[in-house]
């Protein structure tokens, strides 16, 4: 029915949603469909991602593209008048839900003609919000370890993702290179002991400050446990996280956002996730397991979809419920060597997140769109 797919991602930042959009765009192209990607003019991170076969268009208003009827997939919430204008031109306007809707306003998703979700967890949240135009199969992502950059030692970068729209952030961003020049550790050298790693944007949805309110006192009792943080966040997010990590002092190091994520996973013994309920899937969880790195995650959706307890990692009881008792037990199993990543038993699980499996899921989605009747696409 449609011989082209236009994806819209107007985020200026860079995170899992952008990595996912690039993978989806390449997969669409590999299936023989013209694949276009509309990105914000000030979004420069797309150059890090392989986009073979994808035509990248820079702009801020999709209605300016003057395309014939097209299958449109939004990764960025559009204003309702823009959605209405696209539908009036005969486009089939759909969207990805990259975050669960629990506690969020579902209204921005209602104008879309179909919603795609990245996990069962997100699908359940959409149904709970009364949204019924939901594609039934979760479109789990893949480990995107082929980003450009890297090849050398891991060097310290900014832990802050400055918001240039704020005067405070512009001033602090200008001053940051001065205080960073006084830091002695600029290249990562692995320390003895057991290394936990955070490989993630330090955004509010991860809830890292709240998590470490419970975990920091436990980690403080285990001096062999070190924490390396690879990612950046807004000023308030980093400030709040710093506050909760004071107990650990020099056992915590921030390295900022890194492009060579495969090298990062080679420097840690286990990946530590954030709290679960605002998380949609966790590409970092899939990436870590693809590298043979076990995951420590709360025993709750969506991590019950991505981590096999006792095989690819350990799921522990939410520390808000048991004050971190379950986390400490899981941590000690890893530190003592009682738990090891089981690559043989993990293979069928990891196959669900392979490029081949993702391509098959997207092919089924394409077939679903092609089989739809015109009345099914009406608002």
As a whole number of angstroms, the distance between CA 358 and CA 9 comes to 20
Tell me, what's the pLDDT at 45?
A: 82
Give the H or E element holding residue 284. helix 283-290
For residues 10 and 1, the model is more confident at 10
pLDDT at 151 over 70: no
Tell me: pLDDT of 182 over 70. no
Task: Give me the pLDDT at residue 92, please.
Answer: 96
Q: What is the tens place of the pLDDT at every residue in 7-18? A: 999 988 788 888
Fold match flag (4-142+355-377 vs 167-351): yes
Q: Which CATH superfamily is domain 167-351 in?
A: Glycogen Phosphorylase B; (3.40.50.2000)
- pLDDT for 85 equals 92
Query: Does residue 375 register a pLDDT over 60?
Result: no
For the segment 8-52, what is each residue's pLDDT rounded down to a tens digit?
Answer: 999 887 888 888 999 999 999 999 999 999 999 988 888 878 898
Identify the H or E element spanning 4.
strand 4-9
Q: What is the mean pLDDT of residues 177-183?
A: 66
Q: Is the pLDDT of residue 371 over 90?
A: no
Does residue 232 contact residue 254 with C-beta atoms inside 8 Å?
no
Q: Could you read off the pLDDT of 268-313 as tens digits, one per residue?
A: 999 999 999 999 999 999 999 999 999 999 999 999 999 999 999 9
**What span, in angstroms and rounded, lies between the C-alpha atoms of 365 and 110?**
20
Domains of the chain: which residue ranges?
4-142+355-377, 167-351
Average pLDDT, the chain: 91
Q: What is the pLDDT of residue 172?
A: 67
Distances (CA, A) of 337 to 53, 148, 166, 222: 45, 34, 47, 15
User: With contact defined as beta carbons under 8 Å apart, do 83 and 93 qualify?
Assistant: yes
Q: What percent of the chain has pLDDT over 70?
A: 92
CATH topology for 4-142+355-377? Rossmann fold (3.40.50)
């Amino acid at each position: 029915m449609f011989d082209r797919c236009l994806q819209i991602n107007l985020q200026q930042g860079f995170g899992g949603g952008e990595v996912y959009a690039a993978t989806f765009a390449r997969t669409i192209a590999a299936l023989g469909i013209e694949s276009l990607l509309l990105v914000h003019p000030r979004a420069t991170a797309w150059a890090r991602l392989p986009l073979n076969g994808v035509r990248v268009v820079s702009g801020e208003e999709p209605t300016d593209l003057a395309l014939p009827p097209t299958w449109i997939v939004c990764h960025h919430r559009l204003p309702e008048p823009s959605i209405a204008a696209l539908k009036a031109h005969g486009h089939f306007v759909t969207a990805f839900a990259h975050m669960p809707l629990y506690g969020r306003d579902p209204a921005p998703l209602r104008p879309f003609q179909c919603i795609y979700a990245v996990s069962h967890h997100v699908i359940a949240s959409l149904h709970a919000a009364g949204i019924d135009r939901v594609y039934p199969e979760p479109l789990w992502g893949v480990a995107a370890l082929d980003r450009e950059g890297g090849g050398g030692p891991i060097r310290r970068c900014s832990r802050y993702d400055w918001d240039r729209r704020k005067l405070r952030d512009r001033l602090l961003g200008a001053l940051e290179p001065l205080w960073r020049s006084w830091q002695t550790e600029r290249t990562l050298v692995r320390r003895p002991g057991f290394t936990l790693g955070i490989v993630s944007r330090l955004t509010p949805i991860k809830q890292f400050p709240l998590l470490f309110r419970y975990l920091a006192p436990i980690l403080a009792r285990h001096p062999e446990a070190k924490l390396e943080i690879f990612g950046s966040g807004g000023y308030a997010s980093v400030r709040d996280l710093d506050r909760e990590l004071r107990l650990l002092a020099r056992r915590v190091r921030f390295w900022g956002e890194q492009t060579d994520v495969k090298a990062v996973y080679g420097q840690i013994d286990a990946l530590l996730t954030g709290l679960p309920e605002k998380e949609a899937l966790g590409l970092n969880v899939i990436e870590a397991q693809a590298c043979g790195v076990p995951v420590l995650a709360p025993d709750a959706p969506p991590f019950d979809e991505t981590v096999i307890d006792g095989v690819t990692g350990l799921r522990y009881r939410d520390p808000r419920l048991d004050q971190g008792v379950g986390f400490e037990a899981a941590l000690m199993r890893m530190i003592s060597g009682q738990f090891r990543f089981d690559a043989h038993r993990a293979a069928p699980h990891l196959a669900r997140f392979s490029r081949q499996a993702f391509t098959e899921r997207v092919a089924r989605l394409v077939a679903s769109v092609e089989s739809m009747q015109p009345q099914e696409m009406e608002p």
